[in-house]
Structure 1
Amino acid sequence: MPASCKICGSTNLDLKHNRIRDGAKEVDCNVWRCIDCEIVFLDMDIDEHQLLDYYKDGHFRDSYLPDIKDAESKKAEKFYSLKQPLQESRLNSLRDLFKEDMEVLDVGCATAGFLNLLKDLVGRVKGIELYRPHVEYARENLGLDVEMKNINDIAEEKFDVICTFQVMEHVAKPVYFLSQIYKRLKDNGLLIIEVPNIDDPLISLYDVTPYKDFYFMKPHLFYYSETSIASLLKKIGFNSVQFRSFQHYGLMNHLCWSLTGETSTATKVGGGGMSFPSKYSDSPALEAIMPFFEETNKKYKTMLEEQRKTDTLLVIARK
């Protein structure tokens, strides 16, 4: 058991789970929840230099699903096309926050799919990313200003908005990371964070043990709730913190996990819709039934968002 919480220092800890995913295998590792600040974290020692190399060299891809790993490791353009539907949904959820004169930085931008959608809506976009093939793709194929740097490596120029999508859970020192972002925000600037939600319905509502074995993974060092991330941001100095719930995975994904203890092949990458095996794709009966499934799926995701029991947290913090 760790001596104390890695964020607030409290010794008031509760065991959340005892298994994590490391590539294709499951390994023993305690997952602790701080009762005082609600942060959830892996009980493992972290070498920051090794962690940096882990991302620069692309080794973290081994911890994801085989088809996602394959798409990432072969060609950056495959990763880009795979993720664009998600980037479009992300922008639709946040579009109202951007104005045409804004300067925007995306920290951990991958192939810069979000910035490519955003570039014509704002004054300037810039990205930083540690994985070289993604940096090169964004620069050479999209013509975007993307550098292979960490947040503390870039000059302290100021931005109106800084985004970081699915990055915070990988960061070994969240307080330092957020303080570096804070320095690079203009007064009244916005920080937009997207992270996996520890109140994911498969954990908080359905308590699916095989999903927990899958959900907690070696690259994800910290897990956040609305309470824990708001506390962290206010500790840094942000004046206001708001949330927008977003449910990515759909009803079929949840049914598969709840009934079989694993995801279906159809939902591994996309996840959000109602998909069936391709051998049924030309069925007139299925074509007639699909509108019902699609409408049900839409209502299900909306209800989870209304109850704030979603797989994804969108956080908007103002300096």
Structure 2
Amino acid sequence: MSQGNKIQDDLVKIGVVDPERVREYFPRVRDREDVGVMKCEESGVIFLSRSDHMHMNHYEEMSDLEYWGKGSREQSLETTLEDDTRRAMQFADEIAGKYWVDIGTGLGGVLDIAGGNAKKVGAVEPQIHARKCLTDLGYDVRGSIAELDDNSVDVFTLFHVLEHFIDPIEELKKVYEKLKPGGKVIIEVPHARDFLLSFLDLESFKKFTFWSEHLILHTRESIEKLLQFVGFKDVVVDGFQRYRFANHLHWLAREKPGGHIKWNDLSTDALDKAYAEMLVDKDYSDTLVAVGVKG
């Protein structure tokens, strides 16, 4: 076993990572000097050099809405509106008429937009202040997956949440237990083969994107094997591109984020659609979406 690295141990356990092929990929994450970034040269999976620096109370004890850097829920939701709206549309058919629970819902922007499409809406959010905010709005929000009833949920969603789990196998086992037979889990995660990393190999992007809270960047194969290991059937993994062409152009020219906003006038629907399709086709998308079914 690797000392202090539950993530690597689990990747070895499910047959994704060969510990003999693990090398340092980047010396540190953006917010901590004592946490490095590793990569398995065989599988391409990227993960942090340790996981013992993270604990659930890191999220539980955050004050007010500091995680989103804004003073109010309304202001904070402005930063997630594009993704919340896109997800509500992208997965509308999956949650229509179902009991849907969003894990790691944050301030619940996606609940506001998509909730009316579901038969029943719930959420899991460990941050106490965010949870209270949503409870005050009338949402049924639990502090952990374990608080939900077994065999009760039709659909779980985890939007950029799985990479935060300190023990993803155990958390996904809880998800499996809470799902009804035939129920689905939908997981959106950042991709280890992101074009800016795997093709352009941008140092500036590495300095920006690697973060102590993101314990792993999955490949298609690693997230598929993880879900299958837990017991999910009919697992399907698709690529998806969140950030537009202008974002990548800005990274190349300025070595900074935010190009999709600063250079928005360079974007057209046709250009961005064609660019995203190319990246997905070549397995260079920035995001993966995995769906698994409880047998």
TM-score range, shorter chain: 0.7 to 0.9
Percent identity between matched residues is 25
Equivalent in the alignment of 1:284 = none
| C-alpha distance in structure 2 between counterparts of 1:47 and 1:150, whole Å | 20
Mapped pair 1:43 → 2:42: no
Q: Is the 8 A contact 1:200 1:310 kept in 2?
A: yes
Mapped pair 1:16 → 2:22: no
Q: CA deviation at 1:95?
A: 2.1
Mapped pair 1:185 → 2:179: yes
Q: CA deviation at 1:176?
A: 0.7
- TM-score if structure 2 supplies the norm length? 0.86
- Partner of 2:283: helix, strand, or coil? coil
Equivalent in the alignment of 2:109 = 113
| C-alpha distance in structure 2 between counterparts of 1:181 and 1:251, whole Å | 35
**Matched residue type, 1:111:** L
Equivalent in the alignment of 2:96 = 99
- Counterpart mapping for 1:164-313 below 5 A: 164-264=158-258, 267=259, 271=260, 275=263, 290=265, 293=268, 295-313=270-288
Q: Is the 8 A contact 1:42 1:222 kept in 2?
A: yes
Q: 1:187 to 1:301 in 2, by over 3 A?
A: same
| C-alpha distance in structure 2 between counterparts of 1:249 and 1:137, whole Å | 29
Q: Is the 8 A contact 1:37 1:231 kept in 2?
A: no
The superposition leaves residues 173-203 of structure 1 with CA deviations (integer Å, 9 ceiling, x where unpaired) of 1111111111111111100001111111100
- Partner of 2:122: helix, strand, or coil? strand
Q: Is the 8 A contact 1:163 1:191 kept in 2?
A: yes
The superposition leaves residues 103-151 of structure 1 with CA deviations (integer Å, 9 ceiling, x where unpaired) of 111111111222222222221110110112322232323x22123x121
CA RMSD across the alignment = 2.6
The list of structure 1 runs, each at least 4 consecutive aligned residues, that deviate by more than 4 angstroms after superposition, is: 1-4, 35-38, 290-294
Q: 1:45 to 1:225 in 2, by over 3 A?
A: closer
- Partner of 1:206: helix, strand, or coil? coil
- Counterpart mapping for 1:80-159 below 5 A: 80-100=77-97, 102-141=98-137, 143-147=138-142, 149-159=143-153
| C-alpha distance in structure 1 between counterparts of 2:231 and 2:267, whole Å | 47
Q: CA deviation at 1:43?
A: 1.1
Q: Is the 8 A contact 1:169 1:222 kept in 2?
A: yes
Q: For the pair shown, which has the larger CA radius of gyration, 1 or 2?
A: 1
Q: Where do 5+ consecutive residues of structure 2 fail to align?
A: none
Higher mean alpha-carbon deviation, 221-230 vs 127-136, is at 127-136
> Paired residues, what number?
284
| C-alpha distance in structure 2 between counterparts of 1:294 and 1:162, whole Å | 30
Equivalent in the alignment of 1:6 = 9
Q: Is the 8 A contact 2:44 2:193 kept in 1?
A: no
Q: Is the 8 A contact 1:250 1:274 kept in 2?
A: no
Equivalent in the alignment of 2:157 = 163
Equivalent in the alignment of 1:279 = none
Mapped pair 1:70 → 2:69: yes
| C-alpha distance in structure 1 between counterparts of 2:87 and 2:239, whole Å | 11
**Matched residue type, 2:122:** K
Q: 1:140 to 1:81 in 2, by over 3 A?
A: farther
